Structure 1
Amino acid sequence: MALHIALTFDDNFWAPAYTVMRSICLSTHRRADLVFHLLHMPLSAEHRADLERIGAEFGASLRFYPLADMPAFETLVAGLPQHGRWPKVVYARLMLADLLPPDVPRVIYLDCDMLVRWPIEQLYDIDLGGQPLGAVRDSIAPFIALRRDMVQNADIFDGADPYFNSGMLVIDLAHWRDIDIAAEIAALAASGVLSRLYFDQDLLNLIFRGRWQPLPWRWNTIDADAAHEALDPAILHFTKTTKPWALRAGILHATAYARWYRHVMTNELFYRFARHRWKRWWLKKLRLAR
């Protein structure tokens, strides 16, 4: 049976996407069953070739979904809040039920700032209790939902309600398709609250309120740092500003499994990604200086 995994990213995040996929492949014996659904903005030929190495090394299947060629994606994201750290591609996960083939029963969505350490099939086969969605409660909820002083969005969210992190989602696609996501977003837009929401995560928590299955924290270990190594996490989620691909002095060892992460990315790609990031940083500085 195939194991379907979905990622969303742009050309500036190709190396972390590669690392997520390679960590999954290294952590399971069922590599040939893996099918990676890659929802992406335009990719350079070099970066796409890097991603395709996953298939050559492990025998996994890769399916590419170029979002820039999909007018429906632009329609979906029009009017939704965006930010430099959260570009519009983050909303692509809302289209999984529309983009994936109808014979795909279930998919795991993963953010690209993650690292997988346990066999992914254990998560893929997890019981969702008849719900369309499985996720892990966010470690700093309800602060994210209620915002400043836990009152700013109290008219939208109830702090006593469970609130999940959207970086890892187990999706039952048949049940998901029973929900008209576009209509739910349109209703939220009509209510005037979109500009106050925390991107796709708030959207998903509102749409699936009371319709999701809480999963064990190990499947989305949020704010992963070195102390989490003793807890044997299944999936690490590097949500802090400090990322395991950072090269600044002392930063590399400030996140969990930092050395392991570098070698999963491979040394060659790790340093090439570092040069890519430095180039982007300097170009941004030069544009601001003009």
Structure 2
Amino acid sequence: MRLLAAAAAALLLLLLATAAAAAELPEFREAPAFRNGAGCAGAPTIHIAMTLDGTYLRGSLAGVLSVLRHAACPESIAFHFVASSASPPRRLARLRAALAAAFPTLPAAIHRFDARLVRGRISSSVRRALDQPLNYARIYLADILPRSVPRVLYLDSDLLVVDDVALLWATDLGPRFALAAPEYCNANFTSYFTDAFWRHPAYPAVFANRSRAPCYFNTGVMVIDLDRWRAGDYTAKLEYWMDVQKQEARIYELGSLPPFLLVFAGDVRAVQHRWNQHGLGGDNVAGQCRELHPGPVSLLHWSGKGKPWLRLDAGRPCPLDALWAPYDLLRRQGARDDLLAAVA
């Protein structure tokens, strides 16, 4: 009897563990299938990189759906998902399964990012989410992605593309630029660095020989020439400033953004603002509601503290969160899968 009781207890523990593992991630519905149009013969392969983790998985899947929904040649898009090496194999398997359930035929690869590369270089910032190692993976795309990928479009996991992404992919980087992104030259550039930076006798000189005056740009949407990145050794240059921040002086407060500004600001191929209507998540502290910037919109970006899926779940959405909701693939109890017809 004791053996039977012990066996029953062991079985119960196993069932509980299995149930807990299954509950680690929510379930997602299968997205509609999107096919290439008649004019897609010979279309170039568009490589898109995004991070993949449990916290932002729901946003990532919505972002993928938005890209495919609005692309003229969706079958010509290859996705590269970057997952942290710190994720246990079971966790990674769950992420892979969730991706496959939502997009069974999606051309996608999952690449592991070695979080140890940045753990000793990350300093605390104004928001904990900005301090996660995966937030720094964009610095290492030239090492993570195969050499057969010469150019990549990096997209954050809290955005929607509402235009044909091929238009952004086709950005002309000219003869020398390694990176293209929308710039915001009306922003107070000095505010992205501390007084310790600006008072230092040498640090501000980093901006002296740029093509033009440095401007703020958001690193959630970037077109990157990976060959030029490697040739310019830009990963090492970004790491240098992270080491300065960690070991010498606190020169910034905003996670992975300031190193990009230190290395690239003033040497960025400017893209139309329509390709990053950012800040929809509010600031990094309160996450209050915000409106769109004036002008046309090709990409909506909920950068900042407030994420649309969290505000919708809490019953306190901002008006613009209603634009994100139709792309949400979360499977809800009793909901009908044909709700996706709105974006099919």
SS in 1 for 2:256: helix
Matched residue count? 261
The runs of 5 or more residues in structure 2 that have no matched partner are 1-43, 208-212, 281-288, 336-344
TM-score by length of 1: 0.78
Decide whether the 8 Å contact of 1:36 with 1:61 is kept in 2.
yes
- Aligned equivalents of 1:202, 1:216: Cα separation in 2: 21
1:217 aligns with 2:273: yes
SS in 1 for 2:117: helix
SS in 1 for 2:152: strand
User: What displacement does 1:226 show?
Assistant: 6.7
Decide whether the 8 Å contact of 2:112 with 2:144 is kept in 1.
no
User: What displacement does 1:88 show?
Assistant: 1.1
1:178 aligns with 2:231: yes
Q: 1:270 to 1:170 in 2, by over 3 A?
A: farther
Instruction: Write the deviation string for residues 230-267 of structure 1: whole angstroms up to 9, x where unpaired.
Output: 74411111123332111366632x142x2231221135
1:60 aligns with 2:106: yes
Decide whether the 8 Å contact of 1:15 with 1:269 is kept in 2.
no
Which of 78, 84, 97 aligns to 1:49? It is 97
Q: 1:207 to 1:144 in 2, by over 3 A?
A: same
Higher deviation after alignment, 185-194 or 100-109: 185-194
Which of 128, 147, 154 aligns to 2:198? It is 154
Q: 1:26 to 1:96 in 2, by over 3 A?
A: same
Higher deviation after alignment, 189-198 or 1-10: 189-198
The runs of 5 or more residues in structure 1 that have no matched partner are 273-290
- Aligned equivalents of 1:144, 1:201: Cα separation in 2: 13
Higher deviation after alignment, 231-240 or 12-21: 231-240
Decide whether the 8 Å contact of 2:150 with 2:225 is kept in 1.
yes
Q: 1:186 to 1:20 in 2, by over 3 A?
A: closer
Higher deviation after alignment, 111-120 or 191-200: 191-200
Q: 1:74 to 1:113 in 2, by over 3 A?
A: same
1:19 aligns with 2:88: no
The amino acid across from 1:48 in the alignment is: R
Q: 1:126 to 1:183 in 2, by over 3 A?
A: closer
Once the two structures are superposed, the pairs formed by residues 1-290 of structure 1 within 5 Å of their partners are 1-41=44-84, 42=87, 43-56=91-104, 59-67=105-113, 70=114, 73-82=115-124, 84-86=128-130, 87-130=132-175, 131-138=177-184, 140-142=187-189, 144-146=191-193, 151=195, 153-155=197-199, 156-157=203-204, 161-188=214-241, 189-190=243-244, 192=247, 195-197=250-252, 198-224=254-280, 227-228=291-292, 231-245=295-309, 246-247=311-312, 251-252=316-317, 254-256=318-320, 258-268=321-331
- Aligned equivalents of 1:21, 1:270: Cα separation in 2: 23
User: What displacement does 1:63 show?
Assistant: 0.5
Match of 2:16 in 1: none
Instruction: Write the deviation string for residues 57-82 of structure 1: whole angstroms up to 9, x where unpaired.
Output: xx431110122xx3xx4124422224
Bigger Rg, structure 1 or 2: 2
Decide whether the 8 Å contact of 1:81 with 1:194 is kept in 2.
no
SS in 2 for 1:262: helix
Decide whether the 8 Å contact of 2:80 with 2:109 is kept in 1.
yes
Q: 1:132 to 1:11 in 2, by over 3 A?
A: same
- Aligned equivalents of 2:168, 2:59: Cα separation in 1: 21
- Aligned equivalents of 1:233, 1:269: Cα separation in 2: 30
Q: 1:78 to 1:146 in 2, by over 3 A?
A: closer
